[in-house]
Amino acid sequence: MRKIEHLGLAVLNIDQAIKTFEDLLDTPCYKLEEVESEYVKTAFFQVGESKIELLQATDENSAIAKYIAKKGQGIHHIAFDVANIEEEIARLQAKGFQLIHQTPKDGADNKLIAFLHPKSTEGMLIELCQEK
Ligand code: ZN
């Protein structure tokens, strides 16, 4: 894995959170994107070579809605940039890690993504990202 691509932050109100993070980071949100398959709205900020991804649920069945109901707003996942996501999935499976996605899927911000199951990563939700 090459770097932390982004941190995914679960928020209740993305419009309010965008304003907060624009002021905090002193940089504008560069992309707003709804991912209908995941029932989320996302907003991205560039911070040096990494990014911040804000996530707001658009449906009560969204993983983000469930996360916030359980834990409140906070850091939802850590995403690592990988050169070849299929090779990385195979490498991790060979090591015994459990993947939520066995094959890469389309994610926000022009990425192929796959999530690891927190059961096999000390309770942390980890995302793999490959630039398309
Ligand atoms: Zn993410």
- DSSP per position, 23-69: HHHTS---EEEEEGGGTEEEEEEEETTEEEEEEEESSTTSHHHHHHH
Token look-up 């560039």 returns 46
Q: How many CB atoms lie within 10 A of CB 126?
A: 21
Residue 19 has pLDDT above 90, yes or no: yes
**In this predicted model, what pLDDT tens digit does every residue of 110-129 receive, in sequence order?**
899 999 999 999 999 999 99
**Is the model's pLDDT at 91 over the cut of 90?**
yes
Rounded Cα gap, residues 6 and 132, in angstroms:
16
Candidates 77, 72, 43, 41; CA nearest to 59 is 41
So what's the pLDDT on residue 109?
84
pLDDT higher at 109 or 69 = 69
Query: Looking at residue 69, what is its pLDDT?
Result: 96
**Token representation of residue 123:** 């309770």
* Span from the CA of 94 to the centroid of ligand 1 (angstroms): 24
How far, in Å, from the CA of 79 to the mean position of ligand 1?
6
Q: What pLDDT, on a 0 to 100 scale, did the predictor assign at position 38?
A: 87
* Cα 109 to Cα 112: distance, rounded to the nearest angstrom: 9
Can you say whether the dihedral through the CA atoms of 18, 5, 103, 131 is positive or negative? positive
If you measure from the C-alpha of residue 96 to the centroid of ligand 1, how many angstroms do you get, rounded to a whole number? 23
* 107 has pLDDT over 90: no
pLDDT category at 33 given cuts 50, 70, 90 is very high
* pTM, full prediction: 0.92
